[in-house]
Chains A and B, each alone.
Chain A
Amino acid sequence: MADRRFLMRFLTLLLLVLLAFPAQAQDRVIRTEQGTFALLNARIETITNGTIERGTVVLRDGVIEAVGTNVTPPADAQVIDAEGLTLYPGFIDGGTQIGLQEVGSQPETQDYNELGEVTPQMQALTAVNPNSVHFPIARVAGVTAALTSPTGGLMPGTAALVRFHGYTPAQMDTGFRGVALNFPNSARRGAFDRRTDEDIKKQFEEAMERLDETWDQALLFARIDSAGAASGQPQRPAYQPEMEALLPVLRGSAALLVEVNAAADILKALEWLEGRDVRAILTGVAEGWRVADHLATAGLPVITGPVLSMPTRGSDRYDRAYQNAALLRQAGLQVALRTREVENVRNLPFNAGFAVAWGRDLGFDRQAALEAITIAPARMFGVEDQLGSIEVGKAATLFAADGDPFEPSTQVQHLFIDGYQIPIESRQISLYEEFLNRNPGLTR
């Protein structure tokens, strides 16, 4: 690590020198520019086509135009020498509330939990605040997109996959929609959930009943709607916004994101999903390792995490949560990772690194972890034509790091989202630059 330290020192010194000359100080305004860029001499971890030890990537009109060792940079391209840097596709967080909350304790800034148990018509994208301070902080860690989801109740709303650049929700939208289902839960929430066993059982049964009723109602609604359309009559069933919102799930254009965690509930959810023709993605799946064989039989994709979380039972081995992703993948499942964060979505790469540290003996190596935050979620969300790897024709969403992006000491040096060059700036970095050597210091 010594060389890296030296480099860091040098860069910091350079920064201080720059700051010492106000005339040359950096523009504090974050402005992004789209253009034609050629990144030369880079190590390229493409994810889907191996690693190119020394190559070039050309970005034009928001997409990757060329990748390879024998690429000549176009004459009009801005050239970036990426010597010593490695390129990665932007990371994707498989589950967050980013954009839906600004400050944790302030209800005025929280827009992820609408009143009501069944509210699939609530659109996360509507409430995503493109100006949230959290987006720049996450993206300078290499995380460039996340599923952001409503929470609370049985069907809290429709989640969306957003990219971390844009001035309107529409500009941030990748197109993916998934209706969130909190599958009835028999586990306790946290160490201080003091409900009695009877209460938990009763609430579980009530929730199952409500789920079945809702689903039957949705099927009927869809049948009436389809019948109306088939008969060529413009008449539609009586307006029911909840049911309208479930139509895309029943017709396969939106996924059903099934949040389920306790082993018994996972089995129940698999049973419930059997025979229901939906694009289901299981989320959470904290105790998935206990029932990995059942999950493997069902073969549904899984978004699990945070990796940095506690075992669910006192008798569990201390590292079970760290290993869950690896054990699920070992069982043959498609696995993506999530932080379930807002302000610390930036920790996604560290979650991936922890999954490797505890999962490598089970075959969950660095490549597996990279896939779990790039191409795997891209495939689950049906956006693998845009995101998840460095390939020609995909969105020019990638970053250059001076080392392994899972290692805390690594710095992201260049960042592109849809071909926009994003400055490595955030409020947290600005505060560092302002206060490292505060002026005035102790005396005015």
Chain B
Amino acid sequence: MRRFFPLLLLLTAAVHAQTAADLPPADARGDLLIRGATVLTITGGTLENTDIAVREGQIVEIGQGLSAPRGAQVIEAAGLHVMPGIIDAHSHIALSNVNEASNPVVAEVQMGDVTDPTQIGIYRALAGGVTTIHTMHGSANPIGGENETLKLRYGTFDPEDLHFEGAPRTIKFALGENPTRVHGRGRGIRPSTRMGVEQVFRESLTDAQRYRAAQRGAAEQGTTPPPYSRRMETLADIIEGEVLVHCHSYRADEILMLMDVLSDFGVDRITFQHANEAFKIAPELAAWGASASIFSDWWAYKFEVYYSTAFNAAILTRNGVRTSINSDSGELIRHLYHEAAKSQRYGDLSDDEALALITINPAWQLGIDDRVGSIEEGKDADLALFDGHPLSIYTRPVMTIVDGIVRFDAERDGDDMRLDVDPAAEIEDVRLYVHDEDTCLRDAFVF
């Protein structure tokens, strides 16, 4: 009986579908050999019939005829395409709140405090090849809270486990209709116009400059520093380049405005989120060095996105603006590879250029391109496997790997992959999909 046991175990594993409880712990780092795949490296071309060796969650070797690291799981990938794990630079999944809308400036709040690692939406994103997401504060305020970059190590109840260690701090800014609607029209306070939005930035950043100067002066002279302000600390850190700005924006003129403001405060890096009209000022964005993180084709849902074009990604790319495509949606995040593919209908981006929109470009925008975003030796083994070319409509994701750990496997995973099941609920809710879920204004109108 004893010698049949391993065989029996193997059979049981094959028969029983995996549940969320079976997923390895979040701190696990895998050893793998992916064998015989078409490897879309993004930065180093496409390699046919190639192996990827992974040790302790890192890519150690890419080549042909590699031998498996000791004890490594071997994934036979002949006929499969492997690309870097997809990175979503704008997401509101895995969050229990989105907007602290109580003030036009809330730089003191942090999305890392409201990470919810149990949401099924995380698994659904993994099932679309996504491995890293930028969970953002909402767009109710000109200066929102700090965002959090997460790795989708689904299977844990500890929010800390998802945090992308070493990722730079980022903060949410917002221009246009959302802040003027929420504050100006909703609460009768500034800003109610795009003029007001500009002054919120100038006044806040000036206050922060003086706060930091007073701190330094007090330290030098041994006098009492200004009263501690978490808000001022974060704003001063933005000016000092410690916190990357990601700004919700639509119209070309307001994008130009913020570039001018940031230049005046010596800030030289920004990613404009959504930026539906970025294409109109592509030369200015390129000259400034600003980047854009956009939708593939969402538009006309409000007036400031009426004069949009789905050719935005192509125009920006051709003008030298580093561009990513994001989801801002729990639905769309599941097929970002398809959203990237649309840049070949709306423009003529090459396969590598299209895939860069959801890999190396968002990685750069989040300041994590040394770790993820391409398949290179020394980078994290965050990989997405597909049963065909990921830009084809007929292709399905088959496996998603984070830190060398398989966290989605179309073959093995069960139907119900919830982590957090309410044992008291007799009947599960049925929720019909509505288009604008998980978007920027969630929680903003509760008052």
A residues within 8 Å of B by Cβ?
A: 1, 5, 8-9, 11-12, 102-106, 134, 185-193, 261-263, 284, 286-287, 306, 308-319, 321, 340, 342-344, 346-347, 350, 353-354, 356-358, 360, 404, 406-411, 427-429, 431-432, 435-438, 441-442
Contact = CB atoms under 8 A, between A and B. Distances in A.
Contacts of A429: 309, 311
A314 to B, nearest CB: 5
B237 interface: no
B315 A435 contact: yes
B324 to A, nearest CB: 17
B282 A438 contact: yes
A185 B440 CA distance: 27
Interface residues of B, number: 65
16 contacts: A5-B351, A103-B303, A104-B300, A188-B430, A190-B431, A192-B442, A262-B432, A286-B432, A287-B430, A310-B437, A340-B435, A343-B300, A356-B394, A404-B393, A410-B345, A431-B279
Contacts of A106: 302-303
A315 B416 contact: yes
Contacts of B437: 190-192, 310
Contacts of A262: 430, 432
Interface string B386-429: 00010111111000000000000000000111100100000011
A287 B306 CA distance: 34
B348 A186 contact: no
Interface of B: 120, 123-124, 127, 177, 279-280, 282-284, 287, 297-303, 306-311, 314-315, 318, 330-332, 334-335, 338, 341-342, 344-348, 350-351, 389, 391-396, 415-418, 421, 428-435, 437-438, 442
A347 B297 contact: yes
B303 A344 contact: no
A180 to B, nearest CB: 16
A197 to B, nearest CB: 8
B303 A1 contact: no
Given A191-B431, A191-B438, 19 more contacts: A1-B389, A102-B306, A188-B430, A190-B431, A286-B433, A308-B332, A309-B331, A310-B331, A313-B430, A315-B415, A315-B416, A356-B393, A429-B309, A431-B311, A432-B315, A432-B347, A436-B318, A438-B282, A438-B283
A352 to B, nearest CB: 9
Nearest to A357: B394
Contact of B345 (A134, A284, A409): A409
Nearest to A441: B283
A191 B342 CA distance: 27
Nearest to B420: A314
Given A317-B415, A357-B395, A408-B338, A1 B279 contact: no
Contacts of A8: 344, 348
- Taking each of A191, A356, A436, A441, which has the highest tally of chain B beta carbons within 10 Å of its own beta carbon? A191
Contacts of B303: 103, 105-106
A320 to B, nearest CB: 8
A442 B287 contact: yes
Contacts of B315: 432, 435-436
Most chain A beta carbons < 10 A, residue from B302, B332, B429, B431: B431
Contacts of A188: 429-432
